[in-house]
A and B are shown apart, each in its own frame.
With several copies, the nearest count.
Chain A
């Protein structure tokens, strides 16, 4: 059994034009920087990207948007990205906006073999258009489908050779959920260790969900909103 890949280029080699890809991260926090760079270099096109945000103009998924590699973006929040807005308004980019909790739970559902979930988010709004509304205990819910994605690309703090992953702080966000949801899951980690070096009680994503793993390089970890206090 070998899940270890040399680098991002090798790990994403078979991602094809038209693929549907889940990408972990919240804003620029916990995004798979190495894989995004490799996807840009590879020049794969017509992608459907599912990610909470769309990056900023010159970082994260924004890099793929600049190269017009993305056909459709499925996100919950897409502000702070001028090129994104331009493509959206010009009709070059298809966009589906869905509530953040729905996005997260549709990933989890896929990873848990649950075909669809009921959520109250979006009832009575345009998000509900065309969806089944059902009442349980007097409250209304929408039926939302589990994602069905070709690839999931996630970023973890530490990983081991069996594919077990541990995330750091709020860089966890969507990563463990998307890791469970891809038909093929690719994990890039800041530190790749031997099996047995991670405490089995503290694994966030068990290796069964991870098909490929590699140690990433040169993480920039850009901060989107630097807020500090003096003392």
Chain B
């Protein structure tokens, strides 16, 4: 069984370590916050100017001046701080954010990522994604392994306009956990019940498979 989006988030949450500062993108990455392992403190950074993002507000207590980068109403936690967008991207560029999780339309075997534009179809803009991928030491992509037509999104080369080059470190898809190495994609784990053969067949880029590939447990 392929993972659902909650399981993808849950698996990514295992990458968290105590004291990590983490930036979570819109979509599946946002869900990671719900699966922070017990006994671990992580601090969420929202690039519109907040460290220490808390959960959604209780109904009726929403505050228009307090939103995250996805423009959702949120709350703060004890120890939060607000700052302007220059400082926010300053700390991102300076490598102070330990883990960045974001979605992707395509990832290439050398770690390039495309997630901001489909020429002629979609022009929403890159927002903060280009800054994040150009700066973060540790970028994990949450994505579906294939597009709705069944075509692989893990490619030898991206076909869409790039967001950043040679930056993705790890991919957690509905089918697998994959590390991006200097030699290409490397299969680390497979989704429960998903065969190595299926992952190979759905990965267009070079995929390294070495030894026994463990099944993820939930």
> In the complex, given contacts A195-B79, A208-B91, what are 15 additional A-B residue pairs having Cβ atoms less than 8 angstroms apart?
A26-B48, A75-B125, A95-B123, A99-B126, A100-B130, A101-B92, A101-B130, A104-B88, A125-B161, A203-B83, A206-B51, A207-B79, A209-B91, A223-B62, A228-B59
Q: Are B165 and A124 in contact (CB under 8 A)?
A: yes
Q: Verify if B58 is at the interface (C-beta below 8 Å from A).
A: yes
**Chain B min CB distance to A144 (Å):** 11
Residues of chain A contacted by B91 (CB below 8 angstroms): 111-113, 180, 206, 208-209
| Interface window among A6-14, A63-71, A166-174 | A166-174
Interface, chain A (partner B; CB < 8 A)? 1, 26-30, 52, 75-79, 85, 88, 95, 97, 99-105, 107-108, 110-114, 119-127, 157, 160-162, 164, 167-177, 180, 194-196, 200-201, 203-204, 206-209, 221-231
Q: Are B71 and A27 in contact (CB under 8 A)?
A: yes
The size class of the interface chain B forms with chain A is 35 or more
Q: Are A121 and B81 in contact (CB under 8 A)?
A: no
Residues of chain A contacted by B124 (CB below 8 angstroms): 77-79
A99 CA to B73 CA, complexed, in Å: 23
Give the tally of cross-chain contacts (CB within 8 A): 252
Interface, chain B (partner A; CB < 8 A)? 18-19, 21, 41, 43, 45-52, 55-74, 76-97, 112, 123-131, 134-135, 161-166
Residues of chain B contacted by A227 (CB below 8 angstroms): 56-57, 62, 72-74
Q: Are A208 and B45 in contact (CB under 8 A)?
A: yes
A sample of 20 inter-chain contacts (CB < 8 A) reads A99-B127, A101-B88, A102-B130, A103-B85, A104-B84, A112-B86, A112-B89, A112-B90, A113-B91, A120-B135, A123-B165, A173-B49, A177-B86, A200-B82, A203-B83, A206-B83, A208-B43, A208-B96, A209-B91, A229-B59
Q: Are B51 and A207 in contact (CB under 8 A)?
A: yes
Q: Are B81 and A206 in contact (CB under 8 A)?
A: yes
